[in-house]
């Protein structure tokens, strides 16, 4: 799927860059470089997904899914680099103004590439939600920014035709802003994963756990990972005189119910312990 998206992004980028250079339109040229980063991020995503799909091994007992997160981080880095390049180009045109050649073909190129971008966004976003893939969703957000920047460029081209050539470099600055904001969103989401930010709602997990008969309580519920690849560990309370084999069996029931209720769970580690001293009195007061 990403190969098809890569080809489309390359075609869109090439069309914008070539036409922007020919017509001396810095906004179209900047938008072309923005589209080119879509292609670069596609390559990174392809590598990331290929590595992330490998099964756990001796060196990576938790699997390789964080390579996908690293790939998404690389997308954010690409966006920052392009933002700087586009910004410098726009300021250069503001310092040395010139009037671009805006024709009907200019609008045709932007509208056609806009349609392609819209189709790519819809395609990737749907696939990303279905597969719960952070790379596909990150790439869809990146391409969505192309849609917004293309609309900005089209508006600037209309302004140039009406006699306001300064709208061309100003539109490039807006493009840089869109690129920067998209980079921030991708970096924020990947930082949550790399910093082991909580993934699942504790109350929802607790409700499933406490539905298992024979449990007195649970605590220290912790989750980490990505939305589609979650690791969970928790402590469950059982009566101190519960036979070991019975406690072990109940812990498996807890794990099975959790994984059935939340398919995104990849592993559940359960620690069995007696309830803390005074827990009954605290429960009575709470009731």
18: domain CATH number?
1.20.1510.10
Same domain assignment for residues 52 and 145:
yes
Q: Which two tokens stand for residue 280?
A: 């009954």
* Number of domains comprising the chain: 2
Task: Tell me which residue range forms the domain holding 268.
Answer: 202-286
Ranges 127-141, 150-164, 223-237: which has the least confidence: 127-141
Same domain assignment for residues 184 and 211:
no
Nearest to 69 by CA among 81, 84, 51: 51
Last residue of a domain, one of 162, 194, 226: 194
**Average pLDDT, integer, range 268-282:** 78
Last residue of a domain, one of 161, 194, 227: 194
pLDDT at 140: 76
User: Given CA atoms 167, 168, 172, 175 in this order, what sign does their dihedral have?
Assistant: positive
Same domain assignment for residues 117 and 225:
no
| Overall size of the chain counted in residues | 287
pLDDT at 21: 82
236: domain CATH number?
3.30.70.1350
0.85 exceeded by the pTM? no
Same domain assignment for residues 177 and 207:
no
pLDDT at 194: 86
**Average pLDDT, integer, range 40-54:** 71
Last residue of a domain, one of 144, 163, 194: 194
Q: Which two tokens stand for residue 247?
A: 């406690």
Do 264 and 228 meet the contact criterion of CB atoms below 8 Å apart? Answer: yes
Same domain assignment for residues 169 and 235:
no
User: Residue 27 above 50 pLDDT?
Assistant: yes
Same domain assignment for residues 140 and 267:
no
Same domain assignment for residues 102 and 119:
yes
* Residue 278: band (very low, low, confident or very high) from pLDDT cuts 50, 70, 90: low
State the average pLDDT for the chain: 83
């Amino acid at each position: 799927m990403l190969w098809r998206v890569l080809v489309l992004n390359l075609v869109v980028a090439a069309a914008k860059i070539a036409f922007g250079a020919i017509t001396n339109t810095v906004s179209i040229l900047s938008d072309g470089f923005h589209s080119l980063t879509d292609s670069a991020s596609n390559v990174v995503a392809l590598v990331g997904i290929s590595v992330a799909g490998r099964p756990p091994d001796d060196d990576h007992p938790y699997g390789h899914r964080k390579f996908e997160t690293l790939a998404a981080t690389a997308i954010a880095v690409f966006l920052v680099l392009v933002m700087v390049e586009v910004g410098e180009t726009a300021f250069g045109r503001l310092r040395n103004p010139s009037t671009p050649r805006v024709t009907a073909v200019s609008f045709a190129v932007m509208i056609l590439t806009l349609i392609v971008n819209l189709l790519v966004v819809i395609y990737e976003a749907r696939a990303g939600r279905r597969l719960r893939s952070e790379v596909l969703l990150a790439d869809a957000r990146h391409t969505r920014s192309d849609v917004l920047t293309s609309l900005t460029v089209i508006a600037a081209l209309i302004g140039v035709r009406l006699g306001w050539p300064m709208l061309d470099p100003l539109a490039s600055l807006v493009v840089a802003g869109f690129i920067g904001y998209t980079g921030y969103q991708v970096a924020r989401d990947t930082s949550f994963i790399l910093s082991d930010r909580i993934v699942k709602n504790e109350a929802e997990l607790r409700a499933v756990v406490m539905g298992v008969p024979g449990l007195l309580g649970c605590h220290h519920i912790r989750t980490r990972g990505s939305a589609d690849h979650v690791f969970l560990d928790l402590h469950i309370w059982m009566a101190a005189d519960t036979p070991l084999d019975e406690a072990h069996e109940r812990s498996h029931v807890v794990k099975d119910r959790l994984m059935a209720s939340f398919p995104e769970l990849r592993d559940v580690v359960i620690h069995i312990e007696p309830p803390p001293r005074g827990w009954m009195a605290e429960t009575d007061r709470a009731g």
